[in-house]
Amino acid sequence: MANHTPETLVAASGLSRYYSDHCAVDSLDVHLHKGEVLGLLGPNGAGKSTTMQMLTGNLAPTAGEILISGIDLLDEPRKAKQQIGYLPEQPPVYRDLTVSEYLHFCARLRNIPAKACADAVNRASTRCGLEQVSRRLIGNLSKGYRQRVGIAQAILHNPPVVILDEPTVGLDPIQIREIRELIRELGKEHGIILSTHILPEVQAVCDRVQILNRGKTVFNDTLEGVASLEKVFFDLIFREAEIIGEAA
């Protein structure tokens, strides 16, 4: 019988990160499969961004192992990072470049061959709905379009893993809906991890949710048939609010 087990794109185990005596992430496991959209959900300070930075190789873990498409991120960082597209919370865009100029610049940074740059830029622009603004300065675009440019630079080299940190923060409702539709579309061909503190966002775009609190996993399951998800998340929020109130 044929093996239909999904391809594992990210396998992180025992991730921990300390800042002096403070433990931001504590023995965390994260797994992502091809064609899956995983939501890292949790209140502010839960360890989501720290986890994202470790998974993308921008922050070294204090302990743990990270495999990206089977490549050890700590032993072969350059090779592993070629498998990743990353959009940090603040899109790394240059406001004084046009969209086309910026994406061509990113393509060169990604070592895409010169002959293939135009095709890569056109493909990413089309997928992210940027064709009509390709000649406009990024600084003159709406925040929603700047987010699209940030996602386009993340998928230029067609990576198997796309990691998005708070991709809809600060957007208006129409822009949020458009970015969510884009993420769902990208999830058909890539494995995607997105972080958010917004429960409806996870419910709208994700196949699986991993809820973090104080650097630990408190819930990890698919959305299908999980009636307890809202209760778990809101119990967590209220418990954190009580702890903060007591500390004050």
List 13's β-bridge partners, or say none.
65
Asked if 136 and 15 sit in the same domain, the reply is: no
What percent of the chain is predicted at pLDDT more than 90?
Answer: 71
Please tell me whether residues 71 and 167 are part of one structural domain.
yes
Q: What is the pLDDT of residue 200?
A: 85
Predicted confidence band at 229 (pLDDT cuts at 50, 70, 90)? low
Element (H, E) at 119: helix 114-127
CB-CB contact of 85 with 124 (8 Å):
no
Helix (H), strand (E) counts: the chain: 8, 10
Both 117 and 38 in one domain: the answer is no
Give the pLDDT score at 238: 55
User: Taking all residues of the chain, what is their mean pLDDT, rounded to a whole number?
Assistant: 88
Whether residue 5 sits in one domain with residue 27: yes
Lowest mean pLDDT among 71-80, 188-197, 221-230: 221-230
| Section 29-49 average pLDDT | 92
Say whether pLDDT at 224 is over 80.
Answer: no
Could you tell me if 131 and 54 lie in one domain? no
Give the domain-ending residue among 111, 134, 158.
Answer: 158
CA-to-CA separations, 32 to 10, 47, 220, in angstroms, rounded: 5, 18, 12
Choice among 23-32, 63-72, 127-136, 230-239 with the minimum mean pLDDT = 230-239
Domain match, 148 and 166 both? no
Same domain, 166 and 228: yes
* Domain housing 99: 90-158
Domain identity same for 64 and 94? no
How would residue 248 be classed by pLDDT, with cut points 50, 70 and 90? very low
Q: Which of 128, 158, 188 is the last residue of a domain?
A: 158
pLDDT score at 89: 85
Please check whether residues 183 and 235 belong to one and the same domain.
yes
Which of 112, 128, 158 is at the close of a domain? Answer: 158
Buried b (16+ CB within 10 A) or exposed e, 208-245: bbbbbbbbebbbeeebeeeeebeebbeebeeebeeeee
Count of domains for the chain: 2
Over pLDDT 70: what percentage of the chain? 88
- Looking at the fold, whether 79 and 164 belong to one and the same domain comes out as yes
Q: Are residues 49 and 3 in the same domain?
A: yes
Quick: pLDDT tens for 96-113: 999 999 999 999 999 999
246 with 164, same domain?
yes
How far apart are the C-alpha atoms of 26 and 215, rounded to whole Å?
5
CATH of residue 183's domain is 3.40.50.300
Q: Residue 245's pLDDT band (boundaries 50, 70, 90)?
A: very low
